[in-house]
Structure 1
Amino acid sequence: MTDISILDLVRIREGGDARRALDCARDLARHAEAWGYRRFWMAEHHNMSGIASAATSVAIGHVAAGTSTIRVGAGGVMLPNHSPLVIAEQFGTLEALFPGRIDLGLGRAPGTDQLTLRALRRSPSSADSFPQDVLELQAYLGPVMEGQRIRAVPGANSNVPLWILGSSTFGATLAAQLGLPYAFASHFAPDALDLALDVYRAHFQPSGQQQAPHAMAGVNIIAADTDDEARRLATTQQMSVTDIFRGTRGLSHPPIDDIDDYWTPTEKIQAQRMLACSIVGSPATVARGIEQFLQRTRADELMIVSDVFDHQKRLHSYRLIAELFKA
């Protein structure tokens, strides 16, 4: 059976603030736990006024403290922005507080623009050492070796499970070589989905963490009682994506009746390409879409993004999705 998990962008919505966004994330995770979702992940983004998860490890602690069984983690931490030792200490601390429930997904993109990257005191070339940084981080989280002088405290011997995140064959190849689970960001960068999954499965080498390949695929799913209502709710995400192309990222907007009043024909093409892995509709429509997506990807797990403006309607969307999988 395919596992289902949640990626929450912790969006700050018009009329709300960061505290509201973080509390809504915690409330969603609490419900998701009861509905049978496997994981609840948040991602590192910087200098974005509409996203509240920049301090990703802190946000994970907030959500984990409000839940009891669901795995909580990063999808992901952008490792080139950080020292591997510091990340080992942060996630070792989370593992000490919430044993057996912490995941650490790793990406090599900066998660921000070049100006902000300099404010983080990181060089754009930091991404070049991503494979070595993953190995260094893995060593800090693993057993202490004889003569090892630098240790992550907490963190050493915590063995927090690592994931490689990506949107190209680079991450797929690295995950396969290291024997780690792989999550493909098809919810916003779908172009290389099929090729990356093929590369990962073909070249996977078993490791101490993972004996067989485990592929997760991101997918946008918005479910509502009717197709029309779901399409209306989806305009929130469509506007957010359009704003990216305009360079005007801001707070999450409430849905509108006609998205064609918001975007231009060119923006529509760009947004539809970026959101190609999306399933929007009533339970029956969503069920068909999920079946087709699973037939295409053979994913072991789906990482679901349901970017709905109203918190109660977002809960309803995720509940409907969970009910489909139970059925």
Structure 2
Amino acid sequence: MYLVRAVATGVIPKLSLLDLATVGRDQPISEALADTVTLAQRADDLGAFERLWFAEHHNMSSIASAATSVLIAHVASQTRRIRVGSGGVMLPNHSPLVIAEQFGTLAELHPGRIDLGLGRAPGTDGATLRALRTDPRAAEAFPQDVRELQGYLADESIVDGIHAYPGRGTRVPLYILGSSLFGAQLAAAYGLPYAFASHFAPDALEQAVRVYRERFTPSEQLQQPHVIAALNVIAADDSAEAAEARDRVLRARVRMLAGRVGSGGLDEEMVTALLDTNVGAQARHMLTHTVAGDAAEVAQGLADFAALSDADELMVTNPAPLLPQRIRTLEILAGLDDSGS
């Protein structure tokens, strides 16, 4: 098993990247999007990363990837090699036909470089769901919607007389995203790759991966199970710099969580006070799978996480607060001697 190999040799599996097009405090969105392109181009040039995914979130001022397919199109046009896709599109917010047309168009523009990761959660709150015109019960149809989408991207639709143009015949590879056993069971039943959101929802990681591997059924797309596990990585030239950046990431997470319950406009003293409350505990728990340190510490942390998660591929989020720190993280990751990328 890969788990034994990782423990024995410290092997790091294939590395990929998850980007939310993060918007810093008081940062213009246009600048944040330009930073996203800069990071994508650097990752592409380094050649050490398999794919770069963007996630659909709505009504969040710190995330600029809401129009996910639009951002994917732009980034794919500004890069040459790296696969670009969604991690993911929240399918209950959309019609399967529209997503097939969007990603079919992307696949025709960038052949062999587009991924379609699919999530069941709406990626937002109830009020925003109403603004999106989404039925709160839409998630119940997720398994059927995945099949319908799969049909549109294949040669024949499962809906009589309806085809996706573009989309038909592109067979854009699908990935099921999740943070619970539901996604693991669905990915296994459909024979699709499974990506676990352990970068912010760590609790069910090991159980979900085990269930997925035990129940996997081969499909046309995938003959063997493929697990992607996500974690946060902050790499720097020395441990102290990485630790400082990690602390700033924690404080930003506390600020975000507090903002959800109406505590906007927090100054640093207020954030410090919240670190010792339930909000601080929740933020720390969300960051359970976070590796921060110099190159050697990051390499060990990645190998340890690969062993824990039994993952075939690691999906790295790059949450350091400053663009030069995020670029340096990519460079250090690309230079790890044991990387399987």
Out of 217, 229, 232, the position equivalent to 2:244 is 232
Q: Which residue of 2 aligns with 1:303?
A: 315
For these two proteins, the number of residue pairs brought into alignment is 323
Query: Which secondary structure state, in structure 1, belongs to the residue aligned with residue 246 of structure 2?
Result: helix
**C-alpha displacement of 1:147:** 9.4
Contact 1:166 1:184 in 2 (8 A): yes
**C-alpha displacement of 1:34:** 2.2
Q: Which residue of 2 aligns with 1:173?
A: 185
RMSD, aligned CA:
2.2
Query: Which secondary structure state, in structure 2, belongs to the residue aligned with residue 196 of structure 1?
Result: helix
CA deviations 1:63-85 (Å, max 9, x no partner) are 00110110000000000000000
Query: Which secondary structure state, in structure 2, belongs to the residue aligned with residue 6 of structure 1?
Result: strand
Q: Which residue of 1 aligns with 2:8?
A: none
Out of 173, 187, 200, the position equivalent to 2:199 is 187
Q: Which residue of 2 aligns with 1:24?
A: 35
1:88 alignment partner AA: A
Distance 1:49 1:147, change over 3 A: closer
Structure 2 CA distance for aligned equivalents of residues 28 and 91 of structure 1: 22
Q: Does 1:285 align with 2:285?
A: no
Q: Which residue of 2 aligns with 1:5?
A: 16
CA deviations 1:211-233 (Å, max 9, x no partner) are 00000000111011111111111
- The aligned runs of 1:79-228 (5 Å cut-off) are 79-144=91-156, 148-228=160-240
Structure 1 CA distance for aligned equivalents of residues 158 and 188 of structure 2: 28
Larger deviation, residues 231-240 vs 220-229? 231-240
Structure 1 CA distance for aligned equivalents of residues 197 and 157 of structure 2: 35
Structure 2 CA distance for aligned equivalents of residues 236 and 39 of structure 1: 27
- The TM-score with structure 1 as length reference comes to 0.94
Structure 2 CA distance for aligned equivalents of residues 247 and 221 of structure 1: 24
2:29 alignment partner AA: A
Out of 71, 82, 86, the position equivalent to 1:70 is 82
1:232 alignment partner AA: E
CA deviations 1:116-170 (Å, max 9, x no partner) are 0011001111000000000000000000369941111100111000000000010
Query: Which secondary structure state, in structure 1, belongs to the residue aligned with residue 240 of structure 2?
Result: helix
Structure 2 CA distance for aligned equivalents of residues 177 and 146 of structure 1: 18
Q: Does 1:56 align with 2:64?
A: no
Contact 2:52 2:85 in 1 (8 A): yes
2:219 alignment partner AA: S
Contact 2:232 2:317 in 1 (8 A): yes
Structure 2 CA distance for aligned equivalents of residues 277 and 25 of structure 1: 23
CA deviations 1:206-264 (Å, max 9, x no partner) are 000000000000011101111111111123321232123313499xx9xx89x846623
Structure 2 CA distance for aligned equivalents of residues 13 and 101 of structure 1: 29
Larger deviation, residues 9-18 vs 69-78? 9-18
Structure 2 CA distance for aligned equivalents of residues 222 and 172 of structure 1: 28
Contact 2:88 2:118 in 1 (8 A): yes
Structure 2 CA distance for aligned equivalents of residues 78 and 323 of structure 1: 34
In structure 2, runs of 5+ residues without a counterpart are 1-11
Query: Which secondary structure state, in structure 2, belongs to the residue aligned with residue 247 of structure 1?
Result: helix
CA deviations 1:72-127 (Å, max 9, x no partner) are 00000000000000000000010011111000000000111110001100111100
Structure 2 CA distance for aligned equivalents of residues 288 and 270 of structure 1: 26
Structure 1 vs Structure 2: percent identity of aligned residues? 50
1:306 alignment partner AA: N
1:27 alignment partner AA: T
Query: Which secondary structure state, in structure 2, belongs to the residue aligned with residue 219 of structure 1?
Result: strand
Query: Which secondary structure state, in structure 2, belongs to the residue aligned with residue 40 of structure 1?
Result: strand
Query: Which secondary structure state, in structure 1, belongs to the residue aligned with residue 209 of structure 2?
Result: helix
Structure 2 CA distance for aligned equivalents of residues 229 and 92 of structure 1: 43
Higher relative contact order structure (alpha carbons within 8 Å, sequence separation ≥ 6) = 2
Distance 1:102 1:214, change over 3 A: same
Query: Which secondary structure state, in structure 2, belongs to the residue aligned with residue 124 of structure 1?
Result: coil
